[in-house]
Structure 1
């Protein structure tokens, strides 16, 4: 079922995927993913490669290579069951295909394995996945601006994402968070992001551990007046995050975005026609108590 869902999603997003390969990261990843099949099938090269086939055809896959490729397909399908976006599906395919290529090249020739492994290291250092550059209504915080901005108006509700550019999960979640900001941003409901890779002090203040072992990235916090109301994923006493799927449906349901959006839309309409009401209103009982306290010393003076 997950394979069918992945194929349908890939076919649906084919125009978008086609544009990705104009970017160096995706084009080079595709070439490195297909490196071993290309070498094994390339005339002039494949004749010099060893093979365990009974017919000694070194330009075709032997039984062990087919077994490794089938195992790769099974791993990719298992990992893609939890994938949310097409970027995650493609990223899992690229990642595990490179691991399979390393094994296949080392099995054929030690020199080819070392060469391919060196290319993978260079690619990892020099090529980073492209950052989401689409439209969004998101405020980017720094260490010096986040507290002031969140506490400026106690009536405003903020949904803040704590992320790091090196995290593949954060990169895959970026377009989802951008779409949510476009659909739900209004006068009282705002969206923000802070890169804790650059602003580590913010992560400490808001108890977000940037370590990959804790799996707390990305973290979404619902804040009002600088006070945390809820967060996802939840974190246990040992600092480990519980599993949570960052789908658009889960975020809308858990953070009650539809209710918050309708609430603030109504308040915004009311503010246009009526005078703004004060945030804190004095209790009439407290006013009576204050008046009684003022009368008591006056009566003592008369005595």
Structure 2
């Protein structure tokens, strides 16, 4: 059963994975991830490569290359235990495959290693993972609007994500947060986002570090009456973020979304707010009925 569960999950998301893999970013990443395999196995190219195999077969992996690939597989498995979306699973595989390729190419030939490393740097600087563009019911704040919007109506509870577009964790979390907004958004419970990579003053005011080494991205903060009530991940006395998994189940439980949603229905009925067409989900329909 332990093996069947991830298999069924993969098959369920297969159409979505297929759609992602057709995007230029993932197509290019896939080719870069299998670059060493292609070079080592392509006739006419592999015949000229150096090898440490006893049989002198330069078109097959030697024992050291097998060790490196096995070590890569172990790291990917460990990292993917904490992954919460298919994007994160695929991203981990691509990232560590590139790292392994750099090591393998440098070991084979320093010139090939430098060429591959240069390609990786150029790719990193010029290509970004595609942003989530699916349906959502989220208000995007700027440094000039966030304070006014949070304090506008004391009856409204806000859940605000502090994110940065360059953060892979934030990019992977985007679809999860959008799905929650479609299920739970109501007149009394709203979802917002603010890009602290763009608005540095917001980062300082709400004490969410936007450093590339920060473990606070993304951060979810619950506001009631314009005041912060709780946040995840929590920050200890030394200013370090406490590790926390941004799964949909964890967020629903920690932020009591089901209870907040039930309370928000009362405010929806008294205010008679309507949800714009095109963003309704079963949860939103129930909220406005």
In the alignment, the residues of structure 1 paired with residue 81 and residue 160 of structure 2 have an alpha-carbon distance, to the nearest angstrom, of: 27
Residue in structure 2 matched with residue 12 of structure 1 by the alignment: 12
In the alignment, the residues of structure 2 paired with residue 132 and residue 25 of structure 1 have an alpha-carbon distance, to the nearest angstrom, of: 14
Residue in structure 2 matched with residue 288 of structure 1 by the alignment: none
Shift of 1:264: 1.1
Equivalent pair of 1:136/1:178 in contact (CA under 8 Å): yes
In the alignment, the residues of structure 2 paired with residue 12 and residue 80 of structure 1 have an alpha-carbon distance, to the nearest angstrom, of: 18
Shift of 1:238: 1.5
Q: Within 5 A, what are the aligned runs for 1:169-188?
A: 169-188=169-188
Residue in structure 2 matched with residue 256 of structure 1 by the alignment: 256
C-alpha spacing 1:39/1:2, structure 2 compared with 1 (3 Å): farther
C-alpha spacing 1:79/1:153, structure 2 compared with 1 (3 Å): same
1:46-94 alpha-carbon deviations (Å, 9 max, x no partner): 0010111111111111111111111110010011110100100001000
C-alpha spacing 1:271/1:131, structure 2 compared with 1 (3 Å): closer
- Which 5+ residue runs of structure 2 have no aligned equivalent? 273-289
Moved more, 175-184 or 49-58: 49-58
Check if 1:191 corresponds to 2:191: yes
- Which 5+ residue runs of structure 1 have no aligned equivalent? 273-303
In the alignment, the residues of structure 2 paired with residue 72 and residue 6 of structure 1 have an alpha-carbon distance, to the nearest angstrom, of: 20
Shift of 1:271: 5.2
Residue in structure 1 matched with residue 58 of structure 2 by the alignment: 58
Residue in structure 2 matched with residue 167 of structure 1 by the alignment: 167
1:180-239 alpha-carbon deviations (Å, 9 max, x no partner): 000000111100000001001011111111123331110000012221011111001121
Residue in structure 2 matched with residue 213 of structure 1 by the alignment: 213
1:147-193 alpha-carbon deviations (Å, 9 max, x no partner): 11111111111000000011111011000000000000011110000
Shift of 1:2: 8.1
In the alignment, the residues of structure 2 paired with residue 2 and residue 77 of structure 1 have an alpha-carbon distance, to the nearest angstrom, of: 15
Equivalent pair of 2:187/2:267 in contact (CA under 8 Å): no
Residue in structure 2 matched with residue 223 of structure 1 by the alignment: 223
Check if 1:84 corresponds to 2:84: yes
Shift of 1:11: 3.0
In the alignment, the residues of structure 2 paired with residue 128 and residue 214 of structure 1 have an alpha-carbon distance, to the nearest angstrom, of: 19
Cα RMSD, aligned residues only = 1.5
Shift of 1:6: 4.7
Alignment length (residue pairs) = 272
Residue in structure 2 matched with residue 22 of structure 1 by the alignment: 22
Shift of 1:5: 5.3
Residue in structure 1 matched with residue 45 of structure 2 by the alignment: 45
Question: 3-state SS of the aligned residue for 1:13?
Answer: helix
Q: Within 5 A, what are the aligned runs for 1:264-279?
A: 264-270=264-270
Shift of 1:15: 1.3
1:247-273 alpha-carbon deviations (Å, 9 max, x no partner): 00000001010001111113333556x
Shift of 1:126: 0.4
Structure 1 residue ranges, 4+ long, deviating more than 2 angstroms after superposition:
1-12, 266-272
Equivalent pair of 1:141/1:192 in contact (CA under 8 Å): yes
Equivalent pair of 1:2/1:81 in contact (CA under 8 Å): no
Q: Within 5 A, what are the aligned runs for 1:113-128?
A: 113-128=113-128
In the alignment, the residues of structure 2 paired with residue 3 and residue 36 of structure 1 have an alpha-carbon distance, to the nearest angstrom, of: 30
